[in-house]
Structure 1
Amino acid sequence: MLALDGGRRDLVVRHRVRETGLYGEAPYVDEWKPLPPRLHGVGTLHRSVHLGAFAIAEREVTHGEYAAFLVATGYRPVRPERFTAGQGPTDRPVTNVDLADARAYAAWAGLRLPTEDEWQVAAEAGLLRRTAPLVWELTESEHADGRTRFVILKGGADFRAEGSDWYLDGGPQPPEVSVKLLIAGAGLTRSPNVGFRCAVDLTGGVQ
């Protein structure tokens, strides 16, 4: 685990506007087929946050580590659709997990997921190692806008979908890029391109 001091941080966050915005709705566009920058352009947010001291894992949780968790706890998701965590190559990032699956592993390990701000600060400091194949990473940043629940993804993935502006941007992404993932039922948020890493609070500060 890599330790970071707490304190105030001024962050720049970038995201695709699209129809869901990031934390709230995107502006209404009265066009049948709006083009950039009115819908698919990049939005920029400036956020001032205060972080406590924390430590974050240098790399993502692997299939092998998740398999050990499954054996030790007997964990099974309430809705098992698309749940294949722990079945891939033992040294590759675990995927096909939703937020509850990731939280369950982290709690068992005595850890938690990093917030989106912690992830960004650590990545901008050059502390995070990305294991191939690259996957988007879940964060402990669940939000609700009164209609839907969503979580923020960071990091980017090796997978690249081409042919439409509606597809998620592929390839590794800079630390400031955030993606809004709607939390759906029936395993729909589990993806072969989404994994996670862990973090922990340092109540006594960085030693």
Structure 2
Amino acid sequence: MNLELSSENIRAEIEQIGSRLLFSSSLEKLEKNVLELVALYPHPDVYRTAMRFFRLRENTEKLRSFGWELLELLPTDQEAQQILAESYLSERKLDKQDKKKAVRVIDSLWQREELNSEQAVRYADILEDIEEYSKRMSEKSKMSCPTEQQPSVASPTITENWDSSLHFVTLRMTKYTVQKLFRHPLKVLMLFFLCVMIKNLMTISKSKQN
């Protein structure tokens, strides 16, 4: 197959779909065109177009399907990560398998600090539901905490990671304090002590830096 010609055909087909989207009176027919294009050209730009189209159509199942197809070809594609993460974060009833898949894309946004407070709390809920919350916090602490082999002066990255971890724990404490204080007092207490511990370690790191 002539790759240059194929790319030109893909771009032309995508442009046609964009034009039809503006003027078409039949979204069902346009959906058929999108699916035919995907079948004909398994290409990142085609999967991206399909993902965007089904996002507009509010078809979560197909949005996720083509979003994951795009990530299979471009694992670090930020648009796919963003759209998939939002689709999982906005859904309150996810099964365990979907929650595990959700973590794969939401964690990328969390690491880039692109989650708002509400999304961060929802992400913490998902981690807790699949029993990954403690593991993630432990990994964050190991990554951030200076070891004997590291220099005694804390780097800006370490301080930023402590701030990020503290913010995450604070969000969890806020949620439990407001919604589950009387139902889960032990968890609230554990989160409180964890928050104090992280704050103390941040103070130590900053004092070493100074």
Q: Same-fold call, TM > 0.5?
A: no
TM-score of the two chains, using structure 2 as the length reference: 0.23
Q: Which structure has the greater CA radius of gyration?
A: 2
Q: Which structure shows the bigger proportion of residues in helix conformation? A: 2
TM-score of the two chains, using structure 1 as the length reference: 0.23
Q: Which structure shows the bigger proportion of residues in strand conformation? A: 1
